[in-house]
């Protein structure tokens, strides 16, 4: 049976109905219609569906929608807009860390959380943080460069 689910996504409130077996990813994509959060592996490995929930990173396919009831979610759509890109979004473009773009939303949220928690990560920190985000185009080298460039900018200031 369907249950009401209340979510704050990117500072907007949504009320949708979900089945208990629907994941947070299903609620975000199909219930709310924010499709920037992607689905790729269906076994929780790839990290493409990564979002932030109350400031913590989660693979949204690995949490039931109802577990997130009443919580605040940040998806890629809430990270920045075309007119006002988040510095990481700009850095990913600048450093060539975007190819097909399918894993990009999850990568960016992982990067955001990393820098929010640790403004000057080392390369090893970046590598540990990204273990849960797979990319078939192989943007890892450039993504690392992009993230470290922002950390450096902050240090320069």
Partner 1 sequence: MIDCHYLEPTTVSEACALLAEHGDGAKVVAGGQQMSLLLRNGLIQPSHLISIQHVSGLEDIAESADGVTIGAKVTLNRLIGVDNAHPTLRALSRAVEDVADQQIRNFATLGGAICEAHPASDINVVLSTLNASVKLVSASGERVVSIDDFVTDAFATAVRPGELLTEVVVPSFDLTSAAAAYRRFVLRAGDYSVVGVGTFVSLDGAGSCQDVRIVVGNCSGTPAQAQEAEGRLKGHNIVGNNALADAGDLAAAHVAPSGDPMASSEYKIDLVNVLTREALAEAVALATG
Partner 2 sequence: MNVVGTSAKRIDGIEKVTGSAEFTTDIVLPRMIHAKVKRSPFAHARILGIDTSKAEQMPGVRAVITAADLPDIRLGILTLDEHLLAHDKTRLVGEPVAAVAADTPEIARSACEQIEVEYEELPPLFDPEEAIRLDPPVVLHEEYEEYEKLLEIAEMDERPPNLWQAYRIRHGDIDAAFKQVEDEGGHIIENRYATGYVHTACMEPHGAVAQWSSDGTLTLWAGGQSPYIARDGLAKALDLSPSKVRVIVPFVGGAFGGKLTVKEGAIAAALARKARRPVKIILTRAEDLSATAARTPFIFDIKDAVTKEGILIGRKVTSILWGGGYSGEGILKPIFSTHLYPGSYRLAALWVDSYGVYTNRVSGGALRGYGCAESAWAVETQMDIIARECDIDAVELRINNLLTEGERTAITMPAHAFSAHECLTKCADAIEWETPSESLEHPWYRGKGIALGNKYSFAPTASSTELKVHEDASCELRTSAVDLGQGAYTILTQIVADEFGIEIDQVKLVTPDTAITPFDHVAGSSRQTFHTGNATRMACDDAKRQIRELAAPKLEADPDDLDVSGGRIFVKGSPERSIEVEDLFVVEMLAGKRPADVEVIGKATWEVTASPHDPNTGQGEEPMAYMGHGAQAAEVEVNVETGQVRIRKFVSAIDVGKAMNPQGVEMQNYGGGCMGIGIALHEDMCFDASGEMTNASLMDYKIPSIAEMPLNEYMESIIVEVPHQHGPYGAKGAGEIVVVPTSPAIGNAIYDAIGVRIWDQPLTPEKVVKAWKEKKAAGNGSGA
Q: Return residues touching partner 2 (CB under 8 A).
A: 29, 33-46, 48, 75-77, 79-82, 85, 89, 92-94, 96, 98-105, 108, 123, 126-127, 130-131, 133-145, 148
Torsional sign, CA 86, 88, 91, 97: negative
Which residue in the set 12, 15, 19, 153 belongs to the binding site for partner 1 (CB under 8 A)?
A: 19
Tokens of 33: 């219609």
CB of 23 to partner 1, least distance (A): 5
Using rule CB under 8 A, residue 56 touches partner 1? yes
Nearer to partner 1, 53 or 91 (CB): 53
Using rule CB under 8 A, residue 29 touches partner 1? no
β 56-59/72-74 pair status: unpaired
52: closest CA among 29, 78, 32?
78
DSSP 9: E
- Judge contact between 84 and 78, C-beta under 8 A: no
CB of 101 to partner 1, least distance (A): 20
CB of 11 to partner 1, least distance (A): 21
Phi and psi torsions of 29, nearest 5°:
-75, -55
Torsional sign, CA 9, 94, 124, 47: positive
Tokens of 113: 């959380």
Using rule CB under 8 A, residue 57 touches partner 1? yes
Interacting residue ranges for partner 1, rule: CB under 8 A: 1, 3, 19-23, 26, 42-45, 47, 50, 56-59, 61-64, 66-67, 110, 128-129, 131-133
């Amino acid at each position: 049976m369907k249950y009401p689910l209340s979510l704050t996504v990117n500072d907007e409130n949504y009320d949708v109905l979900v089945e208990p077996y629907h994941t947070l990813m299903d609620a975000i994509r199909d219930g709310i219609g924010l499709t920037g959060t992607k689905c790729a592996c269906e076994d929780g490995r790839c990290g493409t569906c990564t979002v932030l929930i109350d400031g913590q990173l989660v693979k949204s396919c690995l949490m039931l929608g109802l577990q997130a009831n009443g919580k605040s979610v940040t998806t890629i759509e809430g990270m920045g807009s075309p007119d006002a890109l988040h510095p990481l979004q700009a850095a990913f473009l600048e450093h060539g860390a975007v190819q097909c773009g399918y894993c990009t939303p999850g990568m960016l949220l992982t990067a955001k959380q990393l820098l929010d928690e640790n403004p000057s990560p080392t390369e090893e920190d970046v590598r540990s943080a990204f273990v849960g985000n797979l990319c078939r185009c192989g943007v890892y080298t450039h993504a690392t460069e992009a993230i470290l460039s922002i950390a450096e900018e902050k240090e320069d200031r």
